[in-house]
C-alpha cells in the first residue's frame, strides 16, 4: 500500500467516523481503520465522495498507508480498549511516529502510556476532543497534550479542523504528557456543574415561579441572548419547548428523572480530592446525578415533610425570574473559577505550563460548554496572566457584587420551599468561604489536636503547636 495518508483514524464509531470525515473535508488524505471492517467499508461507501480516504482492513495495512512520521488517532473507549489498540499498533510503528489518543482517557493513564511509548521513541499525545458527534464533524474544541515536537506536527492539522471563533482556532497545545486529557476532564466536570446549575434554575422557575416548560423555554431563550448565552442554555430552551409526540406532554415530563454518567465528572471530583482543589459545584453536580438514581432511597423518603410557601403572583414570579438569572450567572462564574483553580493546582503538581487564557479561548467554540462569557475569561487572562481568580477581574467582581441579594434570595426561597439546589448553594457557600475573614477551620484544628495530637499553627507566632489536653493545666508545647 502507498504511504499517502497524512493522518489516520482507527476506531470509526460516532466520534472517529466524523473526525475522519472532518480531516478529509479539509483536504487531508485520511487512512481509516476499525476493529470490525464493516464500519470502515460503510464510511467509505457513504462518505467517500467528501474527500480522499484510504480504507485499511488490517492494522498492518493501516500503518503502511501513513506518511512518515506516521500520525494515527485512536478513537475508542477509554481504558482497556485503548490499551488493546496501542498494543496492536505500537509494534508496527517506528521511532518518531505519533500516536494520538483522542478518547476521553483518564489523564493518569495518559501519563503512563506517554512514558511507556517515549521509551520506545514514539510520541504519545493524549488529546481531549469535545463537541460530540456534530463537533467532531464540523469543528471540535481540541485540547492537545504530549511533547512540543509532536504539536509542531499535529498543531496545523488540529487547528485546521477545529472550530474557529473570531478567526482563532479552538485547538491548542495545553502542556506535556497528560495535560490535554486533564483539561478535557475538567471541561467535562464544568459541563456537569453547568448542566446541574441550569437544571436547578429550571426547577425553581417551574416550582416557585409556577411557569410551564414552554414558558421557561422562552425565559431561557431570552437569557441566551444575554450574558448567559451558551450552547447549554440554547439546547435547554429547545428541550423545554419540545412536546412528546406519543403523549402530547412536555417532553421533559416523560423523561425518567435519574441522570446517567459515563464517569468524567466523577474523575474530576476524585482528582480534585487528591489535589485538595475545592470544585464543590462539580462535586454537588456529580452527587446530584448519583442521588437522582437512588430509587430505593428516594421511594423511602418521598412525601416526607419539607418547606412550603404560597404560590407567587405573576409580578412576583417575574421578579423571582430575575433573581434566578443572577443566581445562575454568579454560580456559573464560581463553578468555572473552581475549574480554572483546579487546572492551576494540577499544573503546579505535574509541572505543566498551562496558558489559562488559551483554555478559555479554545472553549469558546466547538465544545459543550462553549459560552459567550468564555471570551471575557480569555480577555481577563490576556490582561493579567497571573490572575488568581476570576473575581480578581473588575467586571466579574462587580457582577458578583450585584448578585449578592438575588443569589441569596434564590437559595433562601429554594430552602423555604424545600427545593434542592445543591450546585447553586455550593457555589454560594464557596464564595462565602473564600471571602470570610476567618473560618471555623480553626476549631477543626483544635479538635484534631485534642483527639490525635495532630498539632496546629497559631495566628500570633510561627511553628507547630500541641496542647497536652489530658495534662492538668493543659500546657502547650512547640516543635
Ligand X SMILES: O=C(CO)[C@H](O)[C@H](O)COP(=O)(O)O
Ligand Y SMILES: NC(=O)C1=CN([C@@H]2O[C@H](COP(=O)(O)OP(=O)(O)OC[C@H]3O[C@@H](n4cnc5c(N)ncnc54)[C@H](OP(=O)(O)O)[C@@H]3O)[C@@H](O)[C@H]2O)C=CC1
Rule CB under 6 A: which residues touch ligand Y?
A: 11-16, 34-36, 39, 75-78, 81, 84-85, 103-104, 129-130, 132-133
Annotated catalytic residue, options 114, 159, 191, 200: 191
By beta-carbon proximity to ligand Y, the closer residue of 3 and 37 is 37
The distance of closest approach from Cβ of residue 370 to ligand X in the complex, given in angstroms and rounded to an integer, is 11
The least CB distance from residue 230 to ligand Y, in Å, is: 18
CB 108 within 8 A of CB 334: no
Q: Does 262 bind ligand X (CB under 6 A)?
A: yes
192 labelled ligand-binding: yes
DSSP 62-88: HHHTBPSSPEEEE-S-TTHHHHHHHHH
Q: Does 468 bind ligand X (CB under 6 A)?
A: no
8-state DSSP, 326: H
Q: Does 425 bind ligand X (CB under 6 A)?
A: no
Is 21 labelled as part of a ligand binding site?
no
Alpha carbon distance 465, 161 (integer Å): 58
| 202, 211 Cβ separation under 8 angstroms | no
- The answer to the question of whether 38 is labelled as a binding residue is no
Q: What is the DSSP letter of 33?
A: E
The site partner of 188 among ligand Y, ligand X, none (C-beta below 5 to 8 Å per kind) is ligand X
Residue matched to cell numbers 463537533:
135
Q: Which of 127, 162, 188, 284 binds ligand X (CB under 6 A)?
A: 188
DSSP 5: B
425 binding partner (options ligand X, ligand Y, none; Cβ < 5 to 8 Å by kind): none
Q: Which stretch binds ligand X (CB under 6 A): 80-88, 198-206, 258-266, 414-422?
A: 258-266
Q: Is 147 annotated as belonging to a binding site?
A: no
DSSP-H helix ranges across 279-355: 280-292, 295-301, 314-350
Strand order in the sheet with 71-74: 52-55, 29-33, 7-10, 71-74, 98-101, 123-130, 141-144, 171-173
Closest to 233 in 3D by CA, of 371, 115, 347, 398: 371
Q: Which of 184, 200, 332, 393 is catalytic?
A: 184
| Helix/strand/coil (H/E/C) assignment for every residue in 129-185 | EECHHHHHHHCCEEEECCCHHHHHHHHHHHHHHCCEECCEECEEECCCCCHHHHHHH
**Would residue 184 show up in a list of annotated catalytic residues for this protein?**
yes
d(CA 194, CA 204): 15
Residue among 64 and 84 whose Cβ is closer to ligand Y: 84
DSSP-derived 3-state class of residue 99: strand
Strand partners, 142: 129, 171
Contact range with ligand X by CB under 6 A, out of 6-14, 56-64, 154-162, 256-264: 256-264
Nearer to ligand X, 130 or 410 (CB): 130
DSSP at 408:
H
Closest CB to ligand X among residues 93, 143: 143
Closest CA relative to residue 229, chosen from 65, 376, 82, 52: 376
* 77 labelled ligand-binding: yes
Q: How far is the CB of 381 from ligand Y (least distance, A)?
A: 25
User: Does 34 appear as a known binding residue?
Assistant: yes
CA dist 341 and 433 (Å) reads 15
CB of 340 to ligand X, least distance (A): 18
Select 85 or 285, whichever has its Cβ closest to ligand Y. 85
Q: Determine if 18 is a binding residue for ligand X (CB under 6 A).
A: no
Residue 34 binds which of ligand Y, ligand X, none (CB < 5-8 A, kind-dependent)? ligand Y
Confirm or deny that 120 is annotated as ligand binding.
no
Pick the binder of ligand X from 40, 82, 130, 286 (CB under 6 A).
130
Which residues inside 69-108 make contact with ligand X, applying CB under 6 A? 104
Does residue 132 have a known ligand-binding role? yes
76 annotated as belonging to a binding site for a ligand:
yes
> Is the torsion defined by CA of 379, 337, 363, 33 positive or negative?
positive
Does 261 participate in binding ligand X (rule CB under 6 A)? Answer: yes
Residue 160, burial from CB neighbour count under 10 angstroms (0-12, 13-18, 19+): middle
From ligand X, ligand Y, none, interface partner of 368 (C-beta below 5 to 8 A by class): ligand X
Task: Name which of 264 and 321 has its Cβ closer to ligand X.
Answer: 264
- Residue 87 appears among annotated catalytic residues: no
Name the grid cell of 334: 464560581
From the list ligand X, ligand Y, none, pick the one residue 261 interacts with, judged by a Cβ distance below 5 to 8 Å according to partner type.
ligand X
40 binds ligand X (CB under 6 A): no
What are 31's strand-pairing partners? 8, 54
Query: In DSSP terms, which residues pair with 62 in a beta bridge?
Result: none
Interacting residues toward ligand X by CB under 6 A: 104, 130, 132, 188, 261-262, 264-265, 368
Residue ranges for the known binding site are: 11-16, 34-36, 76-78, 104, 130-132, 187-188, 192, 262, 289, 448, 454
Residue ranges for the known binding site for substrate are: 104, 130-132, 187-188, 192, 262, 289, 448, 454
Active site residues: 184, 191
Residue ranges for the known binding site for NADP(+) are: 11-16, 34-36, 76-78, 104
Amino acid at each position: 500500500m502507498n504511504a499517502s495518508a497524512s493522518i489516520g483514524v482507527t476506531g470509526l464509531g460516532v466520534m472517529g467516523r466524523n473526525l475522519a470525515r472532518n480531516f478529509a473535508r479539509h483536504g487531508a488524505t485520511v487512512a481509516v481503520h476499525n476493529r470490525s471492517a464493516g464500519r470502515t467499508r460503510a464510511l467509505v461507501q457513504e462518505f467517500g465522495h467528501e474527500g480522499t480516504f484510504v480504507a485499511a482492513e488490517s492494522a498492518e495495512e493501516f500503518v503502511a498507508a501513513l506518511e512518515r512520521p506516521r500520525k494515527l488517532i485512536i478513537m475508542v473507549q477509554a481504558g482497556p480498549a485503548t490499551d488493546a489498540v496501542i498494543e496492536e499498533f505500537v509494534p508496527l510503528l517506528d521511532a518518531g511516529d505519533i500516536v494520538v489518543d483522542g478518547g476521553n482517557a483518564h489523564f493518569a493513564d495518559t501519563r503512563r502510556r506517554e512514558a511507556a511509548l517515549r521509551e520506545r521513541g514514539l510520541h504519545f499525545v493524549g488529546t481531549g476532543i469535545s463537541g460530540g458527534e456534530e463537533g467532531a464533524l464540523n469543528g471540535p474544541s481540541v485540547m492537545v497534550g504530549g511533547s512540543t515536537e509532536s504539536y509542531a506536527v499535529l498543531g496545523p492539522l488540529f487547528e485546521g479542523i477545529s472550530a474557529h471563533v473570531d478567526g482563532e482556532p479552538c485547538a491548542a497545545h495545553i502542556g506535556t504528557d497528560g495535560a490535554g486529557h486533564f483539561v478535557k476532564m475538567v471541561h467535562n466536570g464544568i459541563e456537569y456543574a453547568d448542566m446541574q446549575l441550569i437544571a436547578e434554575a429550571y426547577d425553581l422557575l417551574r416550582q416557585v415561579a409556577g411557569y410551564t416548560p414552554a414558558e421557561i423555554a422562552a425565559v431561557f431563550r431570552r437569557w441566551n441572548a444575554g450574558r448567559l448565552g451558551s450552547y447549554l442554555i440554547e439546547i435547554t430552551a429547545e428541550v423545554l419547548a419540545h412536546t412528546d409526540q406519543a403523549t402530547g406532554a412536555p417532553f421533559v415530563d416523560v423523561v425518567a428523572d435519574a441522570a446517567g454518567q459515563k464517569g468524567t465528572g466523577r474523575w474530576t471530583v476524585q482528582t480534585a480530592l487528591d489535589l485538595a482543589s475545592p470544585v464543590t459545584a462539580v462535586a454537588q453536580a456529580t452527587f446530584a446525578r448519583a442521588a437522582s438514581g437512588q430509587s430505593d432511597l428516594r421511594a423511602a423518603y418521598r412525601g416526607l415533610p419539607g418547606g412550603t410557601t404560597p404560590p407567587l403572583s405573576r409580578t412576583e414570579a417575574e421578579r423571582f425570574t430575575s433573581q434566578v438569572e443572577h443566581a445562575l450567572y454568579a454560580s456559573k462564574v464560581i463553578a468555572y473559577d473552581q475549574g480554572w483553580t483546579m487546572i492551576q493546582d494540577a499544573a503546579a503538581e505535574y509541572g505543566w505550563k498551562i496558558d489559562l487564557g488559551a483554555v478559555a479561548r479554545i472553549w469558546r467554540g466547538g465544545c459543550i460548554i462553549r459560552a459567550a462569557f468564555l471570551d471575557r475569561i480569555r480577555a481577563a487572562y490576556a490582561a493579567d496572566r497571573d490572575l488568581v481568580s476570576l473575581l480578581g477581574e473588575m467586571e466579574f467582581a462587580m457582577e458578583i457584587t450585584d448578585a449578592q441579594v438575588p443569589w441569596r434570595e434564590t437559595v433562601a426561597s429554594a430552602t423555604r420551599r424545600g427545593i434542592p439546589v445543591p450546585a447553586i448553594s455550593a457555589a454560594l457557600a464557596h464564595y462565602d468561604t473564600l471571602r470570610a475573614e476567618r473560618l471555623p477551620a480553626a476549631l477543626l484544628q483544635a479538635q484534631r489536636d485534642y483527639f490525635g495530637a495532630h498539632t496546629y499553627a497559631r495566628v500570633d507566632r510561627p511553628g507547630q503547636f500541641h496542647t497536652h489536653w489530658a495534662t492538668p493545666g493543659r500546657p502547650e508545647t512547640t516543635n
